[in-house]
Structure 1
């Protein structure tokens, strides 16, 4: 009897300013080549209830749309999990694009080693002139032992050594951690640091994402860099990591291995 396909759920939160970029995000997902027996589902969630996001998407049965009361990216991402299928969840922001075979590389790592709970990959900044620039802080490719990402974040003025917008994570691990933090920003940093405290990850040296730089992105807004708010976000993230450590939830615990 033929086995049902395994699924990787791709979560994309959308606010109105990023709607024009959805077509590029979809094209990069549509063109992914997956290993035999795998399929993707695209969970597109509007941070609002206007219906404009669903109207902007193509007719593709692999796309699932939803809405929620305006609550920011963390709330919106987590609400999308109500429709998640399969053992893996991949993040894809609405204004970014996957590189060819990015999902296949994530799947290959996570199916080969059940002790790895998550992956990140190299990212290329996509500039307005269509040129790309690679992050200078990328670590060597390979295993990232639990705790190493957090230590690097602390030592480098709270800048991550890997890009949270490239995260692929086991669904059960994501759910056990409570999804994304309900913060106005840095919710993806908070999830990555929590996951990297609980279990080992893996950095894929080959670029997996084109990270678009444009004036409307949330990290370009003045409020994002408010010293008071940024300090509060960092404190919440640090407190979560410390609580996981105090509770003894770490690499000696069993890693969630999917459904």
Structure 2
């Protein structure tokens, strides 16, 4: 069986909608020959979500490390050839992963962002008009669009999907306290071709407790976008490109020996 890994970074104090997120993963209608693994990585010093994520491969940090580190710890456990991010308050529609898998099988792309509707507090949905044409996205197009518009990106990084090998090669989610998903999208979209799909496959929940409305890092509202713009320009200036159109599926397994730098008995 081929596998797609859904990665969810969770934090108990704000995981009010995690049960609905879990139901949406369980309801996925996958193509023949495919399996889904849901990796939930809980951030924070007081884990409390293990009993609320039935069917998930759950792990906890045991410390408050932030969302980027939490997502990357989940990525280290992922076995899938494809990775789909899913925030702990968002919802996948039943056809989401099947649609995503089809796009990756049909097109030589390394990343994809599917369309989303806003899910409002009263349960209604509000379409989010796309700013970028649907279909194939050449390397650099997403970031040039953002640079021309003051660091505003046309795609929502919260719904980012990618080939696992490419995401790992580019460092996973950027290790910053804000907009880590934007940094990942910048690197992938600058160096590799991607896909923007017209199909609405997920719902972006709008609610008062979401991270974007209650930042734990006041004063950093623009920092993540500044770092993302700097990363895009730096990548472009190097002339780097990922040359493999459709990367082979590598194993996530690696062999670790003893830490030779660690003092004996420590």
* TM-score normalised by structure 2 residue count: 0.88
Q: Which runs of 5+ in 2 are unaligned?
A: 251-266
Q: Distance in 1 between matches of 2:211 and 2:176?
A: 13
Distance in 2 (CA, whole Å) between partners of 1:219 and 1:136 is 20
Task: Quote the Cα distance in structure 2 between the aligned partners of 1:101 and 1:224.
Answer: 35
Which residue of structure 1 aligns with residue 155 of structure 2?
162
1:150: which partner in 2? 143
Which segment is superposed worse, 142-151 or 159-168?
Answer: 159-168
Deviation sequence 1:121-152 (CA, Å, 0-9, x none): 11111001111111123433200111111011
For residue 46 of structure 2, what is the aligned residue in structure 1?
50
SS in 2 for 1:230: coil
Is residue 192 of structure 2 the alignment partner of residue 196 of structure 1?
no
Any residues of structure 2 matched to 1:1-259 within 5 Å, and which? 5-58=1-54, 60=55, 63-68=56-61, 69-113=63-107, 115-221=108-214, 226=219, 229-250=220-241, 253-255=243-245, 256-259=247-250
CA RMSD of aligned residues (A): 1.7
2:112 and 2:160 in contact (8 A); partners too: yes
Q: Is the 1:122–1:134 Cα contact (8 Å) retained in structure 2?
A: no
Greater Cα offset, 186-195 or 158-167:
158-167
TM-score when normalising by structure 1: 0.90
Distance in 2, Cα, partners of 1:132 & 1:138? 19
How far residue 222 of structure 1 moved from its aligned partner, in angstroms, is 5.2
Structure with larger Rg = 2
Q: Which runs of 4+ in 1 moved over 6 A?
A: none
Conserved? CA contact 2:115–2:198, under 8 Å: yes
Per-residue Cα deviation, 1:60-82 (whole angstroms, up to 9, x for no partner): 2xx11111121211111001112
Q: Distance in 2 between matches of 1:134 and 1:225?
A: 29
Q: How much does 1:223 deviate?
A: 5.6
- Mean Cα displacement is larger for which, 130-139 or 235-244? 235-244
Count of aligned pairs: 248
Q: Distance in 2 between matches of 1:49 and 1:168?
A: 29
SS at match of 1:236: helix
SS at match of 1:133: strand
Look up the SS of the partner of 2:144 in the other structure.
helix
